Amino acid sequence: MKFRPAKFLTALFVTCIAATTFGCQSGPAKPVERPGKPLMLIGIDGLEWDVVLELLGADRLPNIARAMKTGIYGELSVTKPTLSPIIWTSIATGMTSEEHGVTGFIHPDRQRASDGERLYTSADRRVKAFWNILSDYDLRVNTVGWWLTYPAEKVSGTMVAQVNTITPQLRAAGRGIWKGSLVENLEGQVYPPEDQATVLEALPVVEAALPQLVEDIFGDTGKLSPAYAALLEQSMWAFRADAIYHRVARDLLERDPDFDLFAVYFGGSDVVGHRFWRFMYPELYETPTPAALRRKLGEIVRDYYEYLDTVIGDLIAAAPPDVTVIIVSDHGMRAVRKTSTNLGADLSGGHLEGPPAFFILNGPLAATPTPKKYRGPIQRFDLEAYGTILDVTPTMLAMLGVPVGRDMTGRVMKAVINRDVLERHGIDYVSSHTGLLWNRLRPSDERARNDVGERIEQLRQLGYLD
């Protein structure tokens, strides 16, 4: 029979469309048995082991201590550069920046374009994330506040996006959508869209409680000079975002407890770490820190870690009793600009060198822990290194009985998985979960491509942009 190129390509195109959701390999994804035991992933930006260990020694983190006592904990190595949109997308996909296509905050083809800067969005990711993969296998996945999820994608469950843009209408009214904010009359923040009104009911509740929460965290910081007051003001947007994510996640756990994976992100620890590290550890810097500033600002990072510990405890308590919990950071935090004399304007905490990420796994899907001892608040300490941040999604897939993509750079951390789980269903693999045409066929959404001036200013304040 004569070979007909056009006919062959048409057939291939149709076949790939049919299989594009599942990777265009040997057909649609085979149904998997629901694991029965759910998984909760709590992502905490910039969580540093040294601070955690110091606070554990002072009995200030009871929920993290409880998870460590009966679980597995250690370090994960991180990829560079340690920019949030890159690394949280790498955690969610098991792939590097070169593979998933997100290379920073601002899209390079629009960074100097006449039509303005454009932040990366969910539409720019070239490969499937865990929420796409689990949805392909009809497993229920809920995500709250994860990086680069706006506009929200269609999932088998609920997605509450992290909004990193503003609309011209809001800008004209003098209101910007800061990181993590939810606002009225902005489509695409929640999937399914009919749930958006319900999710937005959390806004007035959080706003009403925010002044007291801020006072609880930051204490009485009155009579600060404008430079130091600005450090606090520039942190409020992150604290507001975390409070919103906490409330939305708590409400979602109550409404939809029958999930297979629940993922939520908190970013305030990174923001306060950037700004207040020198006031917590003044001995690491050459310029002396006045005693008054140490008293007013020196406990902010520690207090924020305590706040996040209460959030962790609250979410675990709201989850099903047989939940397995993963707590992971994208990187740690270190003292930077140690010789700077500008105590107010220069950021004193950083992570561009790639300090190890925080990792805890606790629950019935986890392996039996080996007892360890921790030591030292400032000096480095001995913690087992289990893998890299790229290994998180492959390991979650294996625990849930879902095949792992062979195209993932990350690998399954077999040492952390319950042996009975591995023996029951082993580890299956597919060539790829991302079809050849998946990214091209995804709808482009101009809602995420509006003016982003206020978000750009946030990134400059954090030291990520010149």
Q: Which of 394, 400, 395, 402 shows the shortest CA–CA distance to 428?
A: 402
Span 393-417, average pLDDT: 97
- Low-confidence winner among 81-90, 129-138, 170-179, 241-250 (lowest mean pLDDT): 170-179
Residue 329 near residue 305 (C-beta atoms within 8 A): no
Q: Which two tokens stand for residue 75?
A: 């370090």
**Tens-place pLDDT, residues 369-396:** 766 655 544 444 568 889 999 999 999 9
Cα separation, 306 vs 407, whole angstroms: 39
Statement: residue 180 has pLDDT above 70: no
Q: What one-letter code names the amino acid at 294? A: R
Q: Is the pLDDT of residue 465 over 70?
A: no
Alpha helices in 70-201 (DSSP H): 84-93, 97-100, 130-136, 168-172, 196-200
Under 8 Å CB-to-CB from 406, ≥6 apart: which residues?
429, 430, 431, 432
pLDDT tens for each residue of 117-168: 677 889 899 999 999 999 999 999 999 999 999 899 999 999 999 876 544 4
Query: What's the mean pLDDT when you consider all of the chain?
Result: 83
pLDDT of 227 reads 77
Distances (CA, A) of 157 to 102, 112, 136, 440: 25, 38, 11, 23
The CATH class of 34-461 is: alpha beta
**What is the separation, in whole angstroms, between the first and last Cα of the chain?**
63
pLDDT exceeds 90 at position 89: yes
Mean pLDDT confidence for 100-106: 86
Peptide bond preceding 192: is omega within 30 degrees of 0, i.e. cis?
yes
Q: In the chain, where are the structural domains located?
A: 34-461
Contact assessment for residue 130 and residue 123, using Cβ atoms and an 8 Å cutoff? no
Q: What is the pLDDT of residues 418-462, one digit of tens each?
A: 999 999 888 999 999 998 778 766 655 444 444 345 555 555 555
Q: Which tens digit of pLDDT belongs to each residue from 257-310?
A: 999 999 999 999 999 999 999 999 999 999 998 898 888 899 999 999 999 999
| Distance, CA of 340 to CA of 348 (rounded, Å) | 9
- pTM of the predicted model, to two decimals? 0.86
In 3D space, the residue among 242, 239, 234, 250 whose CA is nearest the CA of residue 199 turns out to be 250
pLDDT of residue 173: 44
How does residue 201 score in pLDDT terms, banded at 50, 70 and 90?
Answer: very high
Q: Please tell me the distance from the alpha carbon of residue 41 to that of residue 330, in angstroms, as a whole number.
A: 13
CB 280 within 8 A of CB 299: yes
Taking residues 86-92, what's their average pLDDT? 97
The two three-digit tokens of residue 151, written as one number: 């506009």
Q: Report H helices in 48-201.
A: 49-57, 62-69, 84-93, 97-100, 130-136, 168-172, 196-200
pLDDT at 12 over 50: no
Q: Are strands 157-160 and 190-191 parallel, antiparallel or unpaired?
A: antiparallel
Residue 17 has pLDDT above 60, yes or no: no
Percentage with pLDDT > 70 across the chain: 78
What pLDDT shows up at residue 319?
Answer: 98
260 closest CA partner among 301, 311, 319, 183: 319
CA-atom Rg of the chain in angstroms: 22
Tokens of 78: 């991180």
Range of lowest pLDDT (21-30, 64-73, 77-86, 253-262): 21-30
